Structure 1
Amino acid sequence: MTATNGAQDHHTGVWPVMLTPFTENLEIDWASLERLIDWYIGAGVHGLFANCQSSEMFFLSDEESLKLTRFVVDYVDGRVPVVASGHTAVSPAHQAEQLQATAECGVDSVIMISNRLASSDESDAVLLERLAALTEKVPQKVGIGVYECPYPYKRLLSDEAVSWAAASGRFTFLKDTCCNIETLRRRANLVEGTDLHIANANAQTLLESLKAGCHGYSGVMANFHPALYVWLTENWKAEPEKAEVLSNYLSVAAMTESMDYPLCAKDYQKEIGNFAGMYSRTRPINGYFGNHFSSTVRQMISLGEEVTAFLGLAEEKEEMRLAAR
């Protein structure tokens, strides 16, 4: 296979799955969102994945989804590319409307949700048929991606679906949640030489997936220490020993996701001054989340800072910044 559009080669590196900050009355907090976007970009991320599960898209109306996506695109203002989903509907007609509307927001690529393409008891053939049909509904001016979102259930793509998407010339972005290095290696071979880029969501397999030919990271931990993922994706070849140590830390740190995400991430964003509150439509703040989670996150970040210093990553970044001036 050969790439059909060299302009799509930028779908590599780190693409945070964006949080949505809310006010106390659960309206979108636009000021906090601006600070979050600047924080991501300041960390050197290569793109942003807006209106995804971490954005609580299943708890947004269609109107809110589009307003959120437009706001991100407008505020980013070309600093990095933006992909977005909002693909939450059940009926194919409604899904087509959502994808078409998202395409009009100025995004780089529109992201389909794999579990919207077939129910858990439907075959891979059904999924592929609906994937092809929806592809025809998306305007040619934007790329297309697929996210194997785990909510409301995880639907992994078959090799046939990955191969079809890669060969179509329309697909640029696969947010992979298989968490299996053998599957990632196989998929990397299937998309080689095409516009379809694989962004691994799983920290534990990330380094090995990069070695296998996958293209980057798009996972929840970029809401805690995106700069470390940026360093890993950009430097793993040149400094393999440091990359192995950093990968080991990131793999363990990623267990933070189990601590009532997205509240743990919103609590951290509040602590560093980006968010005014940790309000969420998916989790009650007075529920399971507790002070011991906050303490654990702080310790995880602190250890990451020690690892960064031990490996000399901060010094390298500063040298690169000065050299670029």
Structure 2
Amino acid sequence: MFRGSMVALVTPMKADNSLDWDALHKLVEWHIEKGTHAIVAVGTTGESATLNMGEHADVIRKVVDQVKGRVPVIAGTGANSTSEALELTQAAKDAKADACLLVTPYYNKPSQEGLYLHHKVIAESVAIPQLLYNVPGRTAVDMLPETVSRLAVIDNIVGIKEATGSMERLQALQAVTQDDFLFISGDDGTALEFMRLGGCGEISVTANVVPDLTSKMCELVLEGKVEEAREIDERLASLHSALFLEANPIPVKWAVARMGLMGNAIRLPLTPLAESYRGILEQAMRDAGVTL
């Protein structure tokens, strides 16, 4: 079910900070039309940290209801409070999401035992497929392979989004998990190599801007057509980089707005992309074939 290009969907907002449901609807349809293989609703790229609990659950429910099973919907339900993550995960199950994506608890820096117990409690409490999400550059905590190995034996923990960009980490994880455990890249710049070495896909920021090329690249590498996939990936290389000129999702929201797909609104403490970076990002978009 979880394979190929899975967009880490941005959450459109209006100038008054309210959620833009019309733009969200259009984005979802655009992604399905352009070949995106799955949609991640309210992941960290979807500004999960600035949405309140009601908004968070509403976005998940609206995306699931709109998609109507055409592609899988993965709900971002991680939090640095286990009780909050439990509530969000239950809301995603109630909304009939296909799976949940749970980032490691950020800021409070739990021990490996804390990480294990956090995910174990949620998995055993809510009967929905769950993906672990390790992104130490953002959370200040690194879920080690030994901890992933302990969690992977829980039936509904089905895989991990690994965003370190390290192929050595991927191989270490493969060595300590069962054959059907899923490995999903969380780093656009290294996703091709990650899939070549056994990953099943990527949860992509870049797919917000070029969903057709991202999905085609994933399809090719998963079919073993690595050189053809590499041609696309090289075309996207400057965009992969430019989308992190400032903290994600600042650049990607600006890029999607620049394409006319939504307004350029983002919630504090995040701010719109600095003027000095806009020309760089525009050029990277043009290099990737985006018409501006």
* TM-score of the alignment, normalized to the shorter chain, above 0.5: yes
> Please, which runs of 5 or more residues in structure 2 have no aligned partner?
none
Aligned residue number for residue 41 of structure 1: 32
Unaligned runs of 5+ in 1: 1-9, 307-325
- Counterparts of 1:127-206 in structure 2 under 5 Å? 127-138=115-126, 140=127, 142-149=128-135, 153-194=139-180, 196-206=181-191
Alpha-carbon distance between aligned partners in 2 of 1:191 and 1:77, rounded to the nearest angstrom: 32
Q: Could you say which residue in structure 2 is the equivalent of 1:270?
A: 257
Give the match for residue 68 of structure 1.
59
Q: 2:211 aligns with which of 226, 240, 251?
A: 226
Bigger CA radius of gyration = 1
Higher helix share: 1
Superposed, 1:115-126 pairs within 5 Å as 115=105, 119-120=108-109, 122-126=110-114
Q: For each residue in 1:230-256, what CA deviation from the matched residue of structure 2 results, as whole angstroms up to 9, or x when unmatched? A: 112111244332223333333332111
**Is the CA contact 2:78–2:105 (under 8 Å) kept in the aligned structure 1?**
no
1:151 positional shift: 7.9
Q: Secondary structure at the match of 2:36?
A: coil
State the partner residue of 1:240.
226
Identity of aligned residues (%): 22
Change (3 A) 1:234 1:81: same
Q: CA deviation at 1:157?
A: 1.8
Deviation per CA, 1:86-132: give whole Å up to 9, x if none: 33352x3333222212211110112222125x932x42122212221
Aligned equivalents of 2:257, 2:130: Cα separation in 1 = 33
Distance 1:59 1:151, change over 3 A: farther
Q: Does 1:212 align with 2:197?
A: yes
Shift of 1:184: 1.4
CA contact (8 A) 2:42 2:56 kept: yes
The one-letter amino acid paired with 2:88 is: Q
Partners of 1:217 and 1:89 lie apart in 2 by 24
Alpha-carbon separation, structure 1, partners of 2:252 and 2:216: 21
1:168 CA displacement: 1.9
Contact 1:11–1:173 (CA<8 Å) still a contact in 2?
Answer: no
Greater CA drift, 217-226 or 234-243: 234-243
Does residue 248 of structure 2 align to residue 258 of structure 1? Answer: no
Contact 2:136 2:164 survives alignment (8 Å): no
Give the secondary structure class of the aligned counterpart of 2:139.
coil
Provide, for residues 37-66 of structure 1, a one-character-per-residue CA deviation record: whole Å limited to 9, x for no partner.
112112211111111111111111111111
Residues of 1 paired with 2:178 and 2:220: CA distance? 21
Report SS of the residue matched to 1:54. coil
Which of 259, 276, 289 is the aligned partner of 2:274?
A: 289
1:95 to 64, 85, 90: 85
1:191·1:197 contact (CA, 8 Å) conserved in 2?
no
CA distance in 1, matches of 2:12, 2:46: 8
* Secondary structure of the corresponding residue to residue 78 of structure 1: coil
Counterpart secondary structure, 2:74: strand
Query: Is the CA contact 2:135–2:164 (under 8 Å) kept in the aligned structure 1?
Result: no
CA-atom RMSD in angstroms: 2.2
CA distance in 2, matches of 1:239, 1:151: 31
Alignment check: 8 A CA contact 1:143 1:172 kept: yes
| Map of 2:46 onto structure 1 | 55
**Per-residue CA distance 1:175-208 (angstroms, 9 max, x = gap):** 21111111112223444522x3221011232122
Aligned partners of 1:48, 1:190: CA distance in 2, in Å? 28
**Amino acid aligned to 2:232:** L
Give the Cα–Cα distance (whole angstroms) in 2 for the partners of residues 216 and 189 of structure 1: 19
Match of 1:280 in 2: 266
SS of the aligned residue for 1:83 comes to strand
* Separation of aligned partners in 2, 1:151 and 1:130: 20
1:216 and 1:103 map into 2 onto residues whose CA distance is 23
Do 2:116 and 2:151's aligned partners in 1 also have CA atoms closer than 8 Å? no
- 8 A contact 1:188–1:214 mirrored in 2: no
Per the TM alignment, residue 152 of structure 1 is displaced from its structure 2 partner at its CA by 5.9
